[in-house]
Amino acid sequence: MILNLLTNAFFAVNEKKRQNPENYNPTVAISTRKTGNQVEIRVNDNGNGIPQSAIDKIFQPFFTTKPTGQGTGLGLSLSYDIVTKGHGGQLKVEKHDTNGTTFIIEIPIQSL
């Protein structure tokens, strides 16, 4: 699931770089921390971000924001199921206007 989030982040920053904005420095970051009785993993990128209209559908099977032929729309759906159903955690997304996206995985420690 983390590999899927990283792959999506790399795709997002590459797409923004192809648009050739001046002084753009593609960045993907991953961080972890323990918060109370859970582990939090954040994958952050400074790509184009996810359109607001897509946020509510982003974890649905076969929904993708990628161009036709470049994504099946299953990665985030499967990741969501693994985190929520398999580990009793949460997978959330934070949109940062047109300046990237952060995916947050929260997993209870007892499920690890």
pTM recorded for the entire structure? 0.85
Query: pLDDT tens digits, residue range 48-58?
Result: 888 888 888 88
Q: How many domains does the chain have?
A: 1
Per-residue H/E/C for the chain: CHHHHHHHHHHHHHHHHHCCCCCCCCCEEEEEEEECCEEEEEEEECCCCCCHHHHCCCCCCCCCCCCCCCCCCCHHHHHHHHHHHHHCCEEEEEECCCCCEEEEEEEEHHHC
Q: Give me the pLDDT at residue 20, please.
A: 81
Domain extent at residue 50: 2-111
Q: Write the CATH number for 41.
A: 3.30.565.10
Is a pLDDT exceeding 60 seen at residue 92? yes
Query: pLDDT tens digits, residue range 20-66?
Result: 888 999 999 999 999 999 999 999 999 988 888 888 888 887 767 66
